[in-house]
Amino acid sequence: MAGLRALWRDRRVRFFVPAFGLLLVFTFVGGTQPHYPVFLLPLPFAAGVVAMERHLGRVWAGLFAVNGVVSAFIGLPLLAVGTVGSTPVPGVNPIVGDSVGWPAYVDQVTHAYDALPDPGHAVVLTSNYGEAGAVHHYAPDVPVYSAQNALYDQARPPATATTVVVVGGQYDQASRLFASCRVVDHLESGTSVDNEEQGLPIAVCQAPKAPWTLLWPRLHHLD
Confidence at residue 210, expressed as pLDDT on a 0 to 100 scale:
96
More confident residue, 185 or 82: 185
pLDDT in tens, 41-56: 999 989 998 888 777 7
Q: 165 - beta bridge partners?
A: 124, 204
pLDDT in tens, 203-222: 999 999 999 999 999 999 99
Cβ-contact 23, 37 below 8 angstroms: yes
pLDDT band at 194; cut points 50, 70, 90: confident
- CB neighbour class for 113 (10 Å; exposed up to 12, middle 13-18, buried from 19): buried
pLDDT in tens, 63-113: 888 999 999 999 898 998 888 988 999 888 888 999 999 999 999 999 999
159: part of which helix (H) or strand (E)? none
Chain-centre distance of CA 43, in angstroms? 26
Confidence at residue 11, expressed as pLDDT on a 0 to 100 scale:
92
188: part of which helix (H) or strand (E)? none
Q: How far apart are CA 1 and CA 3, in angstroms?
A: 5
Confidence at residue 191, expressed as pLDDT on a 0 to 100 scale:
87
Q: How far apart are CA 223 and CA 98, in angstroms?
A: 16
Share above pLDDT 90 across residues of the chain, in percent, rounded to a whole number:
71
Confidence at residue 141, expressed as pLDDT on a 0 to 100 scale:
96
pLDDT in tens, 5-38: 999 999 999 999 999 999 999 998 987 877 888 8
Q: 122 - beta bridge partners?
A: 163
Cβ neighbours of residue 25 closer than 8 Å, sequence gap 6 or more: none
Q: How far apart are CA 133 and CA 148, in angstroms?
A: 12
Q: How far apart are CA 138 and CA 26, in angstroms?
A: 35
Q: Domain-by-domain residue ranges, the chain? A: 2-97, 101-219
pLDDT band at 181; cut points 50, 70, 90: very high
Share above pLDDT 70 across residues of the chain, in percent, rounded to a whole number:
100
Confidence at residue 18, expressed as pLDDT on a 0 to 100 scale:
95
User: What number is the average pLDDT over the span 153-168?
Assistant: 96
Q: 70 - beta bridge partners?
A: none
